[in-house]
Each structure stands twice: as C-alpha cells, then as structure tokens.
Amino acid sequence: MATDNGLPLTIAIEVAYASVNKSWLLPIEVEEGTTVQQAIASSGILQQCPDINLQTNKVGLFSKIVALDVPVRAGDRIEIYRPLVLDPKEARRLRAEKAKQAK
C-alpha cells in the first residue's frame, strides 16, 4: 500500500529476543505487508545473535506462536523463542522433590 505521495506506508513494530545473558528489544519500521521473517531480517538481530536459527527457533507475536510468513501489523512485537533447556513438568517435579528434601 502506498501513501498519497506514492511512498510505501511504514509501520512501527518491535523485535524481541532474550539469550541466557542479555535481552534485545529492537524498535523498527517496516513497510506494510512485511512478513515476520522479513521483519526479523530487517531488524539486524540475526547478525547480533548468530545463535538464532529461524528453522528451529519458534517465533510469535505477543506470546502466540506464528509462522514466518505471517504479515506484521502496526504495533506488533515479534518474539524469537529459545529452545527449552528443561521440560516445564520435569522442572516442577525437581523443585517439588527439592522442597520435600528440605523439610
């Protein structure tokens, strides 16, 4: 979509990622119709965090998993998720076991 002056309409979004030691929240502007994957590439996060692999890392918009080809909308926050180190059920079981031993 173009504006009255023929220039493409841009929208403001954010790209978020958290590694073990640091987190990023990158505000960027992209053309309307840009996909999640294109926005991630435009943000520069892939150069800053070479450990991100879009073939294996899940991505989402405000905590809802989405495909890379989903178009972004103004105000969206794209989140790049790290793989889980430990299954949440297993982590809960280990905490309960530790608490039981502490008594």
**Rounded to an integer, what distance in angstroms lies between the CA atom of residue 5 and that of residue 62?**
33
Sorted by where each begins, the domain ranges of the chain are: 10-102
- Looking at residue 76, its pLDDT comes to 98
Pair of tokens at residue 40: 């991630």
Pairing of strands 59-61, 23-31: unpaired
Class of 10-102 in CATH: alpha beta
pTM, two decimals, is 0.77
Q: Give, in order, the Cα–Cα distances in Å from 39 to each of 4, 71, 83, 94, 103.
A: 24, 9, 21, 39, 51
Pair of tokens at residue 20: 């073990």
What pLDDT digit, counting tens, does each position of 71-86 carry?
Answer: 999 999 999 999 877 7
Residues in a beta bridge with 86: none
What pLDDT digit, counting tens, does each position of 15-33 carry?
Answer: 999 988 999 999 999 999 9
**Rounded to an integer, what distance in angstroms lies between the CA atom of residue 66 and that of residue 9?**
23
- Looking at residue 4, its pLDDT comes to 63
**Percentage of the chain exceeding pLDDT 90:** 68
- DSSP letter string over 61-78? ETTEEE-TTPBP-TT-EE
